[in-house]
Amino acid sequence: MNWQLPKINWANFFMDTGIIILKLTVIYLIYIIVKKVGFKLIARSFQKLEERKEISLGRSRTLQSLITNIFSYALVFVFIVTVLELFNIKATAVLAGAGVVGLAVGFGAQGLVSDVVTGFFLLLEKQIDVGDYVTTGSFSGIVEAVGLRTTQIRSFDGTLHYIPNRMITTLSNHSRGNMRALVDITIPYEKNIDEAIKILQSACDALAEEEPKIIEGPNVLGVQNLGTSDVVIRVIAKTENMAQWEVERKMRKVLKEALQSLQTEKD
């Protein structure tokens, strides 16, 4: 064991450092330019597509957000490989290596591959489009962007959720057809059920005529539950997509007033 400092040729060291910084700057500028140009080209192409109205607006925006996403990932990948080669590190060799590093990378990157595979099928099977109202896991909201790796969902309180695609194991899409409006209304145990149902149904019919968003008139189904002092009556309707909450609110108001008027008459 002997004691000596490694000799460093300081002149060369600063030269090399300077050249590398120069190269880095040039590469970064090219990266910035290519990125801006690419993004504009993509945006313009999709603008034309939308004008021709060949595919639905949601689908076109989904594809645009996806292609922008793929383009920027490819660019970043090329950029990183180039920079690493400046420092004499061959990225592809590292990826192909089978040592401990390779193993760790393989396992670490596993999640990434799952994300891309799941994202690919999400789009291929048209499970999701920008603008859809979806639920996945414990997240609900409007889809803002679909990427190769992540999907962005904005919930109704304004929060933006970033969800890796592999986390989307099951997807519930609420924008794929008409929705149901359901109201449970409680009447006292002593009341005559037939009479109550008749009054509720006529209130429903009146609402159905007024409200164009109702597709299949609210119908009184019957006794849903027998409590010890109450009887629960269920009423359901079919509405246009996304109109279910509004219709439910109107139904609640109308049904409550119908029951109340009945009460008043009797008194």
Candidate residues 55, 83, 178, 262; the one interacting with its own copies per rule CB under 8 A: 178
Nearest residue (CB) to its own copies, 50 versus 171:
171
Specify the amino acid at residue 78. Answer: V
User: Which residue from 17, 4, 68 is spatially nearest to 39, judged by alpha carbons?
Assistant: 68
Residue 232 contacts residue 223 (beta carbons within 8 Å)? yes
Residue partners of 143: CB distance under 8 A and separation at least 6: 128, 129, 130, 131, 132, 133, 134, 151, 152, 153
- 77 contributes a contact to its own copies by CB under 8 A: no
Q: How far is the CB of 113 from its own copies (least distance, A)?
A: 3
State which of positions 44-73 bind its own copies (CB under 8 A): none
Q: What is the DSSP letter of 125?
A: T
Q: In sequence order, which residues have a C-beta less than 8 Å from that of residue 23 and are 6 or more positions away?
A: 86
Distance of CA 57 to the CA centre of its chain: 16
Residues 132-151 that bind its own copies (CB under 8 A): 135, 137, 139, 147, 149-150
Least distance from its own copies to the Cβ atom of residue 121, Å: 6
Q: Give the integer Cα–Cα distance in Å for 2 and 265.
A: 108
* Residue 156 contacts its own copies per CB under 8 A: yes
Q: Provide the 10 A C-beta neighbour count for residue 132.
A: 20
With CB under 8 A as the contact rule, the residue among 13, 14, 16, 25 that binds its own copies is 16
Q: Per CB under 8 A, does 8 bind its own copies? A: no
* Closest distance of CB 16 from its own copies, Å: 6
Binding its own copies (rule: CB under 8 A), the pick from 125, 209, 210, 267 is 125
**Token pair of 110 as six digits:** 């596993």
Number of residues that bind its own copies (CB under 8 A): 95
- Looking only at residues 185 through 204 of this chain, which bind its own copies when binding is defined by CB under 8 A? 185-186, 189-190, 193
The amino acid present at 245, given as its one-letter code, is W
- Near its own copies by CB under 8 A: residue from 44, 47, 78, 106: 106
Q: CB atoms < 10 A from the CB of 75, how many?
A: 16
Residue 50: CB minimum distance to its own copies, A: 19
50 or 161: CB nearest its own copies: 161
**36: contact with its own copies by CB under 8 A:** no
- Interacting residues with its own copies between 208 and 267 (CB under 8 A): 221-226, 228, 230-231, 234, 238, 241, 244-246, 249-250, 252-253, 255-257, 260
Q: Which is nearer to its own copies, 169 or 212 (CB)?
A: 169
Answer left, alpha or beta for residue 192, where phi above 0 means left and psi between -120 and 50 means alpha.
beta
As to burial, measured by CB atoms within 10 angstroms (0-12 exposed, 13-18 middle, 19+ buried), residue 19 is exposed
